[in-house]
């Protein structure tokens, strides 16, 4: 169970880092730039802890998939970016893939 806490932290920190990257204006704003670097370093640290018990492909699929969905929602809500129908369908497929992996894959230890 601990590996999923680490994975959750890695996902949240990656989303914070990516949000900071957008807010940093190509690293021209100091505070968002520092937040980005710290968040990404911490995200990779927790992803590394996750890889002690989860296969790299499974962990990365969940980390990147959930991260993409969350950062898309943050872009929509905070950066006023829009999502068209194909983007929403694609995000739905990513969510479905993460659910299928977690429910049916024998590679994931629960």
- For 39-92, the pLDDT digits (tens) are 999 999 999 999 999 999 999 999 999 999 999 999 999 999 999 999 999 999
Question: Do the domain assignments include residue 110?
Answer: no
Question: Do the domain assignments include residue 87?
Answer: yes
11 pLDDT exceeds 70? yes
In which domain, by residue range, is 38 found? Answer: 2-104
- Tell how far CA 98 is from the center of its chain: 12
Q: Quote the CA–CA distance of 9 and 57 in Å, as a whole number.
A: 18
pLDDT, residue 110, reads 55
pTM as predicted: 0.88
Question: Do the domain assignments include residue 109?
Answer: no
Question: Do the domain assignments include residue 55?
Answer: yes
Domain count for the chain, please give it.
1
Please, which pLDDT band fits residue 19 given cuts at 50, 70 and 90? very high
């Amino acid at each position: 169970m601990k590996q999923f806490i680490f994975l959750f932290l890695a996902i949240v920190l990656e989303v914070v880092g990516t949000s900071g990257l957008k807010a940093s204006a190509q690293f021209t704003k100091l505070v968002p730039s520092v937040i980005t670097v710290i968040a990404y370093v911490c995200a990779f640290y927790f992803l590394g802890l996750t890889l002690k018990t989860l296969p790299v492909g499974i962990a990365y699929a969940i980390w990147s998939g959930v991260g993409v969905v969350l950062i898309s929602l943050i872009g929509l809500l905070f950066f006023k970016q829009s999502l068209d129908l194909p983007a929403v369908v694609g995000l739905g497929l990513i969510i479905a893939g993460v659910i299928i992996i977690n429910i049916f894959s024998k590679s994931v230890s629960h």
